A and B are shown apart, each in its own frame.
Chain A
Amino acid sequence: MQSSANIRLANGIKRFTTALFRDVLLVAISVIILYPLLYMITISLRPIEEIWDPSVVWISKSLTLDNMIKTIDFMDYWSVLWRSVRLTVVSSLLTVVSCSLAGYGFARFRFKGRELLFMCVLFTIMVPAETIIIPSYTQFWQFDFFGLGYLLYPFLGEPLTANLLNTELTLYIPALFGSGIRAGLFIYLFRQYYRGLPKELEEAASIDGCNAFTTYLRIAVPSSRLTMVTVFLFSSIWYWNDYYFTNMYMNNARTVSSTLAALPSMLNAILNGLSETLQGFDQVQISTMIQSGCLLLIIPPLILFAFCQRYFVQGLELSGLVE
């Protein structure tokens, strides 16, 4: 009896120390990760006068929305936000549709060159966007509708082209054709998922008279909704954070990301007297506005993430990444 009690005690101590070690470690890392976020929140909500108040560490004596409101005005936040949301949601939805179709095609049908084409999918992930951005830019500048513009060559004497720069089509067209941001990764995820899906349901559907496409719509799509949520979430985070493509293709259309990327230099231009629009700015004011701007950028994806969080670990689990 005595010895079994001892063993139980020893096990208890061991379990307790492991748990303690784990919690300390997790809390420590979480603090590092959360620090910038907490810092943004505390600086954004703090009145300017209290920024250097040594008695204020995290929670200021009074809270103010002044910094946020100033930043919202300065960034023209609401119109910029609307454009960002539109670009992100439309592009991500198109990405989900095109990548899911391609993933299903690669997973379910045997055809010549399938493996080679799938290697091409992986290849597209490896090429940095910067490598092909200039040709892509000139292509959208003189867009020939995937070569179709040349069909009109005999009639017009020149190929039919259109300048798509500064239109949102420059993001939507790649997304629709499975070449959006990190689309290769999503095609991979979808293929893995559909490969793991039992074929019986689809066979039953086709016996019941469904053709390949209606089988896909009625069986494959509903069953992959968790993977779709996951892909939508990842894709929208990347589209939301993107400022490279929008800066390149849509120079005068600001998104939240590109505005924020330009914010420090815009504010510093004011500070250095290069711009006269706002007077009485100092470094501290600028910093509070930058922090507010960062907060304004990450709040929307955080909200989206909180909504989808439930689905998405599950979604990856089902995506057959785990084989």
Chain B
Amino acid sequence: MKMKNRLTYSRREAMRGVLFIAPWLIGFIFLFVRPFVTAIVFSFNNVDLSNGFIDLTGMGFKNYTDAFTEDTKFMVLLTQALSKMVYQVPLVVFFSLFIAVVLNQKFASRGFFRLVFFLPTIISSGVVLGIINGDTLYNAMQVGEKTTYMLQTVSVQDILRQSGVSETIITYVGSILDSLLELFWYSGIQIVIFLSGLQGISPTLREAAHIDGASAWDFFWLITFPMISPLLLTNTVFTIISTFTDYNNVVISYISEIASKMELGFSSAMSMVYFLITFVIIIVVYFFLNRKVFYRNT
């Protein structure tokens, strides 16, 4: 009893809090920190599992220097992934914002469209997308050599070619259109998150703005946009993370490929490099955007 009295209120509160997060904390230490540290150790070693135990031979920074100098593909894939991210992330964020704004309007079929726009989340987070695109019959049934989806960019390219536009511009336009089609597959969750934000904007605000003579355009830029700007930050970070950690990401699949050849030290070094770059980008983007975000409470 005496013991209990000595615990101050804040100490007791702290204890309860720690108890609540205890399962996560145990998982974090043993299922995250420990493997993460081991991965760092691996990256400085040559790892051999073939004898039934983990056999490490110190390599210093050799795995790291090899990733940049010896390996021919890693740097290429890395720059490819980074440059793809540079245009894909803003496109996905603005596309999903646009669609969310449209789906937030009142019209009869909006429930159906909301369902449709979530469908890509189910399809694209799994194997289906890769399988359909790799299927020969599916490809054969599409006309032309470039096979994405029904709205073929090929036809657009054909029109351009017939009107005498130079080949480099055609390829460029084609790649932009292809990546536009890809957007739909990576925007599902972002649309839902934006939609939830838009629904939090009360209709009375809209009325008040209307009475004050604001147009829908003004309302969007002066009220809606600032109010959902925290979500803009959330979605940007989420999109960067999901493009970086996606199974279909070229670097990720290359690292998995190396790991499956049992070159575990080397693959660990590459994934560390990759992770560090991701991490720095996310931190920079976060602090850059966070300064511009409008928070209602402050």
The answer to whether A124 has its CB under 8 Å from any CB of chain B is yes
What is the CA–CA distance of A147 and B134 in the complex, to the nearest angstrom?
45
Interface 9-residue window, one of A4-12, A72-80, A260-268 = A260-268
CB atoms of B282 and A33 under 8 A apart: no
CB atoms of A139 and B137 under 8 A apart: no
CB atoms of A101 and B21 under 8 A apart: yes
Set A101, A284, A322: member contacting B20, Cβ < 8 A: A101
The answer to whether A47 has its CB under 8 Å from any CB of chain B is no
CB atoms of B122 and A147 under 8 A apart: no
The answer to whether B5 has its CB under 8 Å from any CB of chain A is no
Q: Which residue of B lies closest to A177 (CB)?
A: B27
The answer to whether B64 has its CB under 8 Å from any CB of chain A is no
Interface residues of B in 4-33 (CB under 8 A from A): 10, 13-21, 23-28, 30-32
What is the CA–CA distance of A127 and B20 in the complex, to the nearest angstrom?
24
Chain B residues lying within 8 Å of A257, measured Cβ to Cβ, are 126-127
The answer to whether B132 has its CB under 8 Å from any CB of chain A is yes
CB atoms of A33 and B117 under 8 A apart: yes
Contacts A135-B35, A212-B16: A126 and B193 contacting too (C-beta < 8 A)? no
The answer to whether B219 has its CB under 8 Å from any CB of chain A is no
Chain B residues lying within 8 Å of A313, measured Cβ to Cβ, are 114, 192, 195-196, 199
What is the CA–CA distance of A127 and B255 in the complex, to the nearest angstrom?
14
What's the minimum C-beta distance from B15 to chain A, rounded to whole angstroms? 8
Q: Which residue of A lies closest to B120 (CB)?
A: A33
What's the minimum C-beta distance from B297 to chain A, rounded to whole angstroms? 7
Set B25, B36, B105: member contacting A22, Cβ < 8 A: B105
Chain A residues lying within 8 Å of B171, measured Cβ to Cβ, are none
Set A105, A134, A179: member contacting B21, Cβ < 8 A: A105
The answer to whether B116 has its CB under 8 Å from any CB of chain A is yes
What's the minimum C-beta distance from B52 to chain A, rounded to whole angstroms? 10
Q: Mark A240-276, 1 if CB is under 8 A from B, else 0.
A: 1101100000000000010011011000000000000
Give the 7 A-B CB pairs with smallest separation, nearest first: A177-B27, A109-B17, A105-B20, A241-B126, A287-B137, A111-B14, A178-B24
Please give 15 more A-B residue pairs, beta carbons under 8 A apart, in addition to A146-B30, A176-B23. A36-B132, A105-B19, A105-B24, A124-B28, A128-B245, A131-B271, A135-B35, A138-B54, A263-B131, A297-B126, A297-B127, A297-B128, A313-B196, A316-B196, A319-B196
B residues neighboring A (CB under 8 Å): 10, 13-21, 23-28, 30-32, 34-36, 38-39, 42, 47, 49, 54, 99, 102-103, 105, 107, 113-123, 125-129, 131-132, 134-138, 149-151, 181, 184, 189, 192-193, 195-197, 199-200, 228, 230-231, 234, 238, 241, 244-245, 247, 252, 255-256, 259, 264, 267-268, 271-272, 274-275, 278-279, 282, 295-297
